[in-house]
Amino acid sequence: MKIGEMTDLTKKLEDTLSNPIDSVFQVSNNIDSQVKHIVDIFVKSFLRRNKSLIASAYRSKTSLNDLHYSIVLKDDNIDNRNIIFDFFDKYDLFEISNKYPVYFQFVPVELVNKLNYSEELKFD
């Protein structure tokens, strides 16, 4: 390397020092994204364990990219809904649930084609 040439690390440090607020904001966004990904995996795992009740499930598109899921039950009744709502009995015990809330919405099969979703969850 030539004298005075900047490495990737020195470029990153210089950028951080020149705009520390933006750097903190970027780190915060990165952490939020990673935590949401982990919670998403947790939700999908729970739904997979209860796939015998679920005809289909979708990660809904929201303006804030919330953890919002639309669920179509094979037999939509209060007992099956309560089994799915058991997720919140465990999740709400974690402090993380305040900052990263999860939402479930039950959808009749007739309305699935009207859903605005980013991902159809596969349970195979």
> Is pLDDT at 3 greater than 70 in this prediction?
no
Each domain of the chain, given as residue ranges in start order, spans 8-121
Structure confidence at residue 15 (pLDDT): 77
- Which residues in 74-108 are b (16+ Cβ under 10 Å) and which e? eeeeeebeeebeebeeebeeeeeeeebebebeebe
Q: Is the entire prediction scored with pTM above 0.75?
A: yes
pLDDT reported for residue 2: 61
Q: Indicate the pairing of strand 117-121 with strand 54-60.
A: antiparallel
Whether the pLDDT of residue 16 is over 80: the answer is: no
- Looking at per-residue confidence, does 107 or 9 come out higher? 107
Mean pLDDT of the chain: 89
Q: State the DSSP code for 5.
A: P
Higher pLDDT, residue 113 or 53: 53
